[in-house]
Amino acid sequence: MSNSRVMTNVKETGFPQTTAWKDFLALIKIGIVNSNLITTFTGMWLAFYFTNTHFLNSLDTMFLTLVGSSLIIAGSCSINNYIDRDIDPLMERTKDRPTVTGKINGTKAIVIGMTMITIGTIFLFMTTITAGVIGVIGVFSYVVLYSLWSKRKLVSNTIIGSISGAVPPLIGWAAVDANLSQMAWMLFLMMFIWQPPHFYALAMKRCEEYRAANIPMLPVVKGFATTKLHIVLWVAALLPLPFFLLDLGIPFFILATAFNIGWFVLGLMGYKMQDDLKWAKLMFVYSLNYLTILFVAMVIVTVI
């Protein structure tokens, strides 16, 4: 199709031209799937390491865990898109989702979501019962507790939604070792605490969009000053965690502590910076690098 024809279609429909594959990836929120895959793998890898299990002897477990967790996350996101199809047109970053443009109708979104969740759950139960149960809890907390209930009603929706975002490393660990150790729960806690400052920073950037969609995000309901305080307090809650991860070695302890202090200092800078949105962007970008680097580092320090 020529560029002129593509531009004509965009003008006629008001939506950008996309392929069926791109629409599918948008439906399942592939970015969320990929980021959660990193934390799932890290949890599984550390379970291999601390139980002295060689991963080459557990390739079937790796396959079932990674594919199963990816499917339940993708399926949950698909259903979330179905639920939010009435408010997504009101927000700039979600207005082109396929459930908004009509390229994927509600019935298809539900069928795709439920199919993925079902297959993914079966895969997880084929590893351990614990992994399967945690997967079900993750789906329930995201679809029901967050998407259907708290997102549109409670200012604490971000905290409630953090439950689902924190379970992937637990799933990964439980698939290898159903007896979840302190290390596994520290991974869960790190993910849980990381999410509020990450999403509050995003909510500050998108405050007016959330207001237009009538979503009671913290910056909308309480304002920027309160949101900044909450962000700093949540980041401060991360400061003690490296002391519970000493089994990963002193180099990781130093790295994690440095990243925590850096994020905390950047948070405090918000009280000096006059541009709140610029500060929120810096905090958001830092949070993305924080999560990726630390979870990848957990794997590296157990290899070298």
- Is it true that domain 20-180 has CATH number 1.20.1740.10? no
pLDDT at 185: 97
Residue 93 CB neighbour total at 10 angstroms:
11
Tell me the one-letter amino acid at 194.
W
- Tell me the CA distances in angstroms from 199 to 22, 195, 276, 284, one per residue in order: 25, 6, 15, 8
Question: DSSP assignment of 33-96, as one string?
Answer: HHHHHHHHHHHHHHHHHHTT--GGGGHHHHHHHHHHHHHHHHHHHHHHHHHTTTTGGGSTTTTT
Mind listing the pLDDT tens digit for each residue in 37-56? 999 999 999 999 999 998 88
Whether residue 295 contacts residue 38, with contact meaning beta carbons closer than 8 Å, is answered with: yes
Mind listing the pLDDT tens digit for each residue in 94-123? 888 999 999 999 999 999 999 999 999 999
Confidence band for 92, pLDDT divided at 50, 70 and 90: confident
pLDDT exceeds cutoff 70 at 187: yes
For the chain, how many helices (H) and strands (E)? 15, 0
Tell me the average pLDDT of the chain.
93
Is the full-model pTM beyond 0.85? yes
Give the contacts of 174 (CB within 8 A, at least 6 positions apart).
47, 127, 128, 130, 131, 134, 180, 184
Pair of tokens at residue 263: 């994020």
pLDDT exceeds cutoff 90 at 300: yes
Cα distance between residue 164 and residue 236, in whole Å: 22
Whether residue 187 contacts residue 46, with contact meaning beta carbons closer than 8 Å, is answered with: yes
- Give me the sign of the Cα torsion angle 41, 47, 49, 53: negative
Cα distance between residue 25 and residue 190, in whole Å: 28
- Give me the sign of the Cα torsion angle 86, 87, 92, 93: negative
Residue 241 DSSP code: G
Mind listing the pLDDT tens digit for each residue in 153-178? 999 999 999 999 999 999 999 999 99
By percentage, how much of the chain surpasses pLDDT 90? Answer: 88
- Long-range CB pairs of 80-86 (<8 Å, 24+ gap) are 80/29, 80/142, 80/143, 80/147, 81/27, 81/29, 81/109, 82/106, 82/109, 82/110, 82/113, 83/143, 83/147, 83/148, 84/147, 85/109
Tokens 């200092």: give the residue.
265
**Structural domain spans, the chain:** 20-180, 182-304
Find the mean pLDDT for residues 246-263.
97
Q: Length of the chain, please?
A: 304
